[in-house]
């Protein structure tokens, strides 16, 4: 390995970038790649990584036939956890993390779209900035699939619709919801046909209005949460 280790951010859709995560990484070097449809993507060895971030996307986490790059992502996630590399999975990324750790995916069993609460169940150095144990911070949801809790993982947050909203497995944390958005990124999502095409009438307007209410408090809390992840990655650069 030459030069400092970097954080690798894997994306799956152009509008689902790292958002506030990239801002929080600050001086930590990172690169963004999309390997979704590559049968044999050339991904770095975990020894070269300061951290691994896997973002959201509209595809099913187990659809390796339609999107062969997902298999390589899952293998890298497993290897990163085994090597104690800091890992952050968001929405699809959390599902890929759970699958990499042996948990099951359930398709179309937990539709949640829009702002709603999650109950914080356990303390965590990353999730804790979003809310203390026993609180129910309001966050943005945008999913219809869910995962079981991986064996040995700690359940960090839950909602009435989706039991596994956040979990910790060693060096990795998975977040089923989307704290990475600020107001500009939410506007982008609400202007993207792939995001709003399946929404009910008036649902996009309701999400926009809820964002105006909740993002002013959520954005700095999410920044602190991602800052805690960045500190972990910084220690490995």
Over residues 90-102, mean pLDDT:
98
Structural domains of the chain ordered from first start: 6-235 (3.40.50.880)
Task: State the pLDDT confidence band at 91, using cuts at 50, 70 and 90.
Answer: very high
Task: State the pLDDT confidence band at 128, using cuts at 50, 70 and 90.
Answer: very high
Contact 103, 151 (CB under 8 A): yes
pLDDT per residue as tens digits for the range 184-224: 999 999 999 999 999 999 999 999 999 999 999 999 999 99
pLDDT over 90 at 37, yes or no: yes
Cα 222 → chain centroid: 12
pLDDT per residue as tens digits for the range 146-182: 999 999 999 999 999 999 999 999 999 999 999 999 9
Provide CB contacts within 8 A for 189, sequence distance 6+: 15, 142, 181, 195, 196
What pLDDT score was predicted for residue 154?
98
> What three-state secondary structure class fits 116?
strand
Task: State the pLDDT confidence band at 3, using cuts at 50, 70 and 90.
Answer: confident
Task: State the pLDDT confidence band at 65, using cuts at 50, 70 and 90.
Answer: very high
Over residues 108-124, mean pLDDT:
98
- 178 belongs to the catalytic site: yes
C-alpha triplet 199, 14, 170: angle, nearest 5°: 90
pLDDT over 80 at 2, yes or no: no
pLDDT over 80 at 1, yes or no: no
Please pick, among 67, 73, 91, 143, the residue that the annotation labels catalytic.
Answer: 91
Task: Give residue for tokens 């966050």.
Answer: 139
Strand 154-158 vs strand 119-120: parallel, antiparallel, or unpaired? antiparallel
pLDDT per residue as tens digits for the range 136-149: 999 999 999 999 99
Distance CA 172, CA 208 (A): 31
Over residues 112-118, mean pLDDT:
98
For the chain, give the longest Cα–Cα distance. 53
Strand 6-10 vs strand 49-54: parallel, antiparallel, or unpaired? parallel
Q: Mean pLDDT of all residues in the chain? A: 97
Please pick, among 12, 141, 143, 178, the residue that the annotation labels catalytic.
Answer: 178
Distance CA 77, CA 93 (A): 9
DSSP of 1-60, one letter per residue?
--S--EEEEE-SSTT---THHHHHHTTS-EEEE--TT-SS--PPPGGGEEEEEE---SS-
- pTM comes to 0.97
Please pick, among 16, 112, 146, 180, the residue that the annotation labels catalytic.
Answer: 180
Provide CB contacts within 8 A for 87, sequence distance 6+: 51, 52, 53, 54, 77, 80, 81, 97, 171, 172, 173
- 91 belongs to the catalytic site: yes
């Amino acid at each position: 390995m030459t030069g400092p280790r970097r954080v690798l951010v894997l994306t799956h859709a152009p509008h689902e970038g790292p958002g506030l995560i990239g801002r929080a990484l600050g001086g930590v070097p990172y690169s963004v790649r999309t390997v979704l449809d590559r049968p044999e993507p050339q991904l770095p060895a975990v020894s070269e990584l300061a951290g691994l971030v896997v973002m959201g996307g509209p595809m099913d986490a187990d659809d390796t036939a339609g999107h062969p790059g997902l298999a390589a992502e899952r293998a890298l996630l497993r290897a990163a956890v085994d090597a104690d590399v800091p890992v952050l999975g968001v929405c699809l990324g959390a599902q890929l993390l759970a699958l990499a750790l042996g948990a099951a995916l359930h398709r179309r069993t937990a539709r949640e779209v829009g702002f709603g609460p999650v109950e914080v169940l356990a303390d965590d150095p990353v999730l804790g900035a979003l809310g203390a144990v026993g609180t129910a911070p309001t966050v943005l949801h945008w999913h219809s699939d869910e995962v079981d809790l991986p064996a040995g993982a700690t359940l960090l947050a839950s909602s009435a619709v989706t039991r596994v909203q956040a979990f910790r497995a060693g060096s990795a944390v998975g977040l089923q919801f989307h704290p990475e958005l600020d107001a500009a990124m939410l506007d982008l999502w609400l202007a993207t046909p792939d995001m709003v095409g399946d929404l009910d009438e008036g649902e996009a307007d309701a999400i926009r209005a809820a964002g105006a209410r909740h993002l002013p408090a959520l954005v700095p809390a999410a920044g602190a949460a991602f800052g805690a992840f960045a500190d972990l990655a910084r220690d490995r650069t």
